[in-house]
Amino acid sequence: MATTNANFRVDTQAKDQFEAIVNQLGMTASTAYNLFINATIQRRALPFDVTLDPLTIPEVRAKVEAELERRLARENDPTTKWYSGDQVREMLGLNK
């Protein structure tokens, strides 16, 4: 099998992190790139999903605002029982 060099730009920090991870997996960056390329060829698609967030910014804002309102309503509900972190740890038997 003939080989060729592939040159592309990548963020230095991302490259360093990538190489550290693939080295921990026992392979070189070159091996990982080849795995990616061969998986793409085999699947005739990228080996992971590439999608756009289906929500628009106004939709995200509306969801966040609705969640905040829900939480504020719950916080002001006199029937809601709140526990501190220490109380939860005690109930779970995690106090040392």
Domains of the chain: which residue ranges? 1-50, 57-91
Which pLDDT band, with edges at 50, 70 and 90, does 86 fall under?
Answer: confident
Q: What is the pLDDT of residues 1-52, one digit of tens each?
A: 899 999 999 999 999 999 999 999 999 999 999 999 999 999 999 998 877 7
Longest Cα–Cα distance of the chain, Å, equals 73
pTM: predicted TM-score of the whole model, two decimal places: 0.51
**Selection from 67, 63, 45 nearest residue 53 by Cα:** 63
